[in-house]
Structure 1
Amino acid sequence: MSTWVPAALDWRVEFAHRADLGRTYISSLECSIYSPSIEVLDRLSTALGVEAAALLKKSQ
């Protein structure tokens, strides 16, 4: 039996799974409640398929 997930949360669930992090932790990062450690930054960049440095650049 699969768990139903609303479409709006679907990408967060998949991303959290790829990064091996909890969905609520991902949400906390989005809301700036937490700052990611270097290890978490590496997991996030791997899940996104980008270099970790790309996540640290200021947006223009």
Structure 2
Amino acid sequence: MEDFPLYAIRKAYKWAVRGRDKLPSLASFIGDVRLAIGTNVLTRKRLLDNLIGRY
């Protein structure tokens, strides 16, 4: 979970608590975290980290 931004984990947690009678599986929760992140955010973050690491 350390690769995911905290805001996305919190958003997925809120969805899990509000939307279900029981807690989701870890795979389902990670899917919700990825949905909360948005399109290509992790790809852009890795690219920026690689660029910053070069300097």
Give the structure with the larger helix fraction.
2
TM-score over 0.5 (shorter chain)? no
Q: TM-score, normalised by structure 1?
A: 0.27
Structure with the larger RCO, 1 or 2 (CA within 8 Å, 6+ apart): 2
Flag the structure with larger Rg. Answer: 2
